[in-house]
Amino acid sequence: MKTSVATIKKPLKKRAPRRKLSKSDVYLLLLTVPFIGIVFLFFYLPLFGWSYAFVNYHPGISIFKQSFMGLKYFIQMFRPGSNFLQSIGDTLALGFLNLVMTPLPMILALLLAEISSRKLSRVFQTVSSIPYFISWVLVFSIAFAFFSNQGVFNTLLINLGIIKNPTNLLGNNSLAWYFQTAIGVWKNLGWSAILYIAALSSVDQGLYEAAEIDGAGRFKKAIHISLPGLTPTYAVLLLLAIGNILGANGSGNGFEQFFVFKNPLVADKLNVLDVFVYQQGIAGTQYSFAVAVGIFKSVVSVILLFSANMVLKKTTGRSIT
């Protein structure tokens, strides 16, 4: 008697039995409780402040006694005269320039790895990382000393006869985006390269030895071994940079840099979202409107992060989730 294919039942997949938590597992979980509490306290609890965007907030009055305004302040962002769209344009332009510069830390890590002397390599790494620890106020002082009309840069070019009139890069409207991007790269380059240097240490050294036996030189080893070894790290950092394009720590679009360097000559080019929120909220006392802008920035950043992650997962098979 023939058995039809339809009558054949597929064996049911048995679920793997759940492993009971051991005492060591419970101990490790308990160790994470303080850190989970810190994350909740400083990252999730402040989200209650988002409710200010839906009311006409006045300090000193309970949130439950404020006048409910609905989506008024979200609509106000896109009305003429709010300068919000100009702020978005400045933020996106600077964010795009920062994305273009993201390969530089990886290149610096590759160059440092090619230095045969470890002591010399550490010296270069330390020197390139020092600007990261300098406050933006001191960075502005250094930039003013070098690039103002009477600064070292203009004085040297005039003495060499290259230019006749000084060029104030701090007040040059057409070069403001590029100058601020260069300042941000100088400050963060060495520190950002540390992650790539750590990633290089995890690359299998046997690959380099095999490449040497096959006759590969330094350049070919860097291109075919070191660079592919850094690609996963670069992909993750690129995703984070895309998520932070509207302004976050380390992206170059934060508050401190542009608040310090902003002046009337370049005000329309450095009015990024974080500075805009400060001007509308703390300086302008439009608290609800400023919170609405902050919510918009956070939501768009999350959308950009997940969209970039999805694209990367479909194209390369790598993702952060």
| Tens-digit pLDDT string for the chain (321 aa) | 444 444 555 555 566 667 677 888 888 889 999 999 999 999 899 889 899 999 998 888 888 888 899 899 999 998 887 888 889 999 999 999 999 999 999 999 999 888 888 889 889 989 999 999 999 999 999 999 999 888 888 888 888 888 888 888 898 899 999 999 999 999 999 999 999 998 888 888 888 888 888 888 888 888 888 888 898 889 888 888 888 888 644 444 568 899 999 989 998 899 899 899 998 888 878 899 999 999 999 899 889 888 888 888 888 777 776
Tokens of 151: 């600064």
Shared domain check, 97 and 76:
no
For residue 270, being part of any structural domain is answered with: yes
Shared domain check, 216 and 111:
yes
Shared domain check, 250 and 108:
yes
Shared domain check, 221 and 76:
no
Shared domain check, 122 and 74:
no
What is the domain-level CATH number for residue 231?
Answer: 1.10.3720.10
Shared domain check, 99 and 75:
no
Shared domain check, 76 and 98:
no
For residue 297, being part of any structural domain is answered with: no
| Domains of the chain: total | 2
Shared domain check, 70 and 214:
no
Shared domain check, 113 and 76:
no
Q: Indicate the pTM of the whole model.
A: 0.81
Shared domain check, 77 and 121:
no
Q: What are the φ and ψ backbone dihedral angles of 67, each rounded to 5 degrees?
A: -75, 125
Shared domain check, 272 and 209:
yes
Shared domain check, 69 and 121:
no
Q: For residue 207, what are the domain limits?
A: 93-130+176-285
